[in-house]
Amino acid sequence: MCGIVGYIGSKNCVPILVEGLKRLEYRGYDSAGLGILSNGKSTIVKKKGKVSELEKIIDGKNLIASIGIGHTRWATHGLPNEINAHPHPNSDESILVIHNGIIENYRNLKTLLQKQGYEFKSETDTEVLAHLIDSFYKMGNTLFKSVRLALAEVEGTYGIAVLSKNEPDKIIIAKHGSPLVLGLGDKENFIASDINALIGHTTRVVYLEDGEVAEVYNDRFYTKTIQDEEIKKEVFEITMKLDAIDKNGFDTFMLKEIMEQPESVLNSMRGRLLFDEGTAKLGGLEEVIEKLSKAKRFIITACGTSWHSALVGEYMFEQFLRVPTEVEYASEFRYRNPIINSDDAIFFISQSGETADTLAAMKEAKRKGVLCLGICNAVGSTIARESDAGVYIHAGPEIGVASTKAFTSQLVVLALITLLIARKKDLSLIDGQNIVKEFLTIPEKVKKILLLNDQIEKIADEFKHVDNFLYLGRGYNFPVALEGALKLKEISYIHAEGYPAAEMKHGPIALVDENMPVIFIAPKDSTYDKIMSNIEEIKARKGKIIAIASESDDRIDKIVDYTIKVPDTIRMLMPILTVIPLQLLAYHIAIKKGLNVDQPRNLAKSVTVE
């Protein structure tokens, strides 16, 4: 949610900032802006729409500066227009602020500032920060101190970067709840919401923590808490390469990421399977594995697609570990004073590792002293850093707003965790080895499903004009139905609902007629006969049926309108396969409707506000 970039050094910052904004655009894309300092002057350029719109107006301006900040916005307060775009200046434009997050007490602060004579131009909460910092600056404080004093008055979340033309040798940054990372170069420093914007510039990064403020010069930086205590920061090395955030010849990131899944699922399991012992090896859990295997209850919490993988995790944990498992929306978990026992273990699943609700749920759980485990993709993300232990899914950067490869990698990691704990409990060596063997077949099976792309595209063509879709699955494939429906609605704007197949009789069947396509996820597993009955029920009402079925199933073709066949595997791993046709179907329908699948309307990749 909102992307922040900054540069200070000897190069012209403008192309660096624009390039950084493009790489962060998945965080928000309703407007963009730059603020730069040169020759004792501040300049702001803002534009409604995508970074490419901003770029067009910059091109004609011959802007050159060696210090600047940039922002790509996902609107929280005020319409997405030029006035509400960032940076926001104080009255004489000597101070410029960009902000990601929400200032919750901005109305009170605004009233106080208005009483002091400050005039506001935008509807944003951010503009309050510019004037508040200005009010402290006018009292004779340095910019660094003014930012600290201003933030001490603020309630809410923020990642901010601040410039002043009166102190043109520094950028002040601060974080509380919204991510910020500092990239250290040679006589140049970079600022970004996430490391994607830093790749190719530097491999040395410093993650700011909540309540920290940094004064960043071209050749050094100082960090303090908002309360003025000095802090020493650790420098981390990042290994990500530029091609990881490139479309690599694909038209969209989403298609690239769907097609990458044979490698991404392999990367998630690489070096983590031990055939001889019939188990998994997860370095990140080694220190807590004894406690984890003795947990009396698991809670898995997440949002959106990650919540769907948590639901699959529930089936895995209960089938193999026989430990009661609850799955919670992070946004609900955090506010309802959940009952947590000391022998529980709580997993927090997040691709970005920055989702505000999941992070807040984790903080709440940590307060209660329970074991908190992160399952994240983004290396160095807040949830990954702040959990007691955890596992990276290693799917590589996911840029398309609709999550695809992160989902399948989350499922791999949940299955690895299941195997690891199950072998500590009562899963036999032979059974463990059989699971390991099956794991190893998954990347090839994923590859085989991706060969169905053309067939799925043809099916998409038949259905691109419909207004509603129903997705039905049972057992392990019920969460896949939810995920398939979410993929379709978020990128094609077609209304879609996922249901447990049998639940359909209790209401949704009323919607079914010849205009309602119904997708059944119906591989040959223990629920197959039941789901076949559900298929007959839909057929009797003339619903059009698309089935995701097992390769070995020739009965289903005679009953349904379209079948998409996937290879067989064990139940636990089946969702990794069955979801892929649904990703492709959603993708092709959206593309045929002429929509931007990488940046669907109203969405942003990383939801860092409540």
Which residue's CB is nearer to ligand F6R, number 212 or number 357?
A: 357
**CA 251 – CA 255 distance, rounded (Å):** 7
Residue appearing with tokens 């879709």:
469
Which residue's CB is nearer to ligand F6R, number 310 or number 531?
A: 310
Shortest Å distance, C-beta 492 to ligand F6R: 12
User: CA dist 169 to 40, 67, 68, 181, 437, Å?
Assistant: 11, 8, 10, 19, 58
Query: Is 605 annotated in the active site?
Result: yes
Q: Where are the alpha helices (DSSP H) in 284-355?
A: 289-293, 304-316, 330-333
DSSP β-bridge partners for residue 499: 472
Shortest Å distance, C-beta 591 to ligand F6R: 16
- Tokens representing 597 are 């699948």
Which residue's CB is nearer to ligand F6R, number 90 or number 261?
A: 261
Shortest Å distance, C-beta 383 to ligand F6R: 8
**CA 318 – CA 601 distance, rounded (Å):** 37
Shortest Å distance, C-beta 197 to ligand F6R: 17
Which residue's CB is nearer to ligand F6R, number 67 or number 327?
A: 327
Which residues contact ligand F6R by CB under 6 A? 303-306, 350-352, 355, 358, 402-403, 486, 490, 606-607
**CA 113 – CA 67 distance, rounded (Å):** 29
**CA 259 – CA 447 distance, rounded (Å):** 8
Q: Parallel, antiparallel, or unpaired: how do β-strands 212-216 and 221-225 relate?
A: antiparallel
Shortest Å distance, C-beta 406 to ligand F6R: 7
Helices 405-424 and 429-450, axial angle in degrees (round to 10): 170
**CA 75 – CA 124 distance, rounded (Å):** 9
User: CA dist 575 to 124, 353, 464, 497, 560, Å?
Assistant: 43, 23, 25, 18, 21
Shortest Å distance, C-beta 331 to ligand F6R: 10
What are the backbone dihedrals phi and psi of residue 6, each rounded to the nearest 5 degrees, phi first? -155, 155
How far apart are the two ends of the chain, measured CA to CA in Å?
11
Q: Count Cβ neighbours within 10 Å for each residue of 1-40 and write b for 16 or more, e otherwise.
A: bbbbbbbbbebbbbebbbbbbbbbbbbbbbbbbbbbbbee
Helices 143-152 and 126-137, axial angle in degrees (round to 10): 120
Which residue's CB is nearer to ligand F6R, number 33 or number 179?
A: 179
Which residue is nearest to ligand F6R, using beta carbons?
A: 304
Shortest Å distance, C-beta 78 to ligand F6R: 22
Query: Is 241 annotated in the active site?
Result: no
Q: Which of 47, 48, 445, 605 is catalytic?
A: 605
Which residue's CB is nearer to ligand F6R, number 167 or number 598?
A: 598
Cβ-based neighbour number of residue 276 at 10 Å: 9
Shortest Å distance, C-beta 402 to ligand F6R: 4
**CA 538 – CA 543 distance, rounded (Å):** 5
Q: Count Cβ neighbours within 10 Å for each residue of 203-230 and write b for 16 or more, e otherwise.
A: bbbbbbbbbbbbbbebeebebbebeeee
Which residue's CB is nearer to ligand F6R, number 70 or number 400?
A: 400
Which residue's CB is nearer to ligand F6R, number 345 or number 607?
A: 607
Q: Which of 2, 303, 372, 376 is catalytic?
A: 2
Active site residues: 2, 605
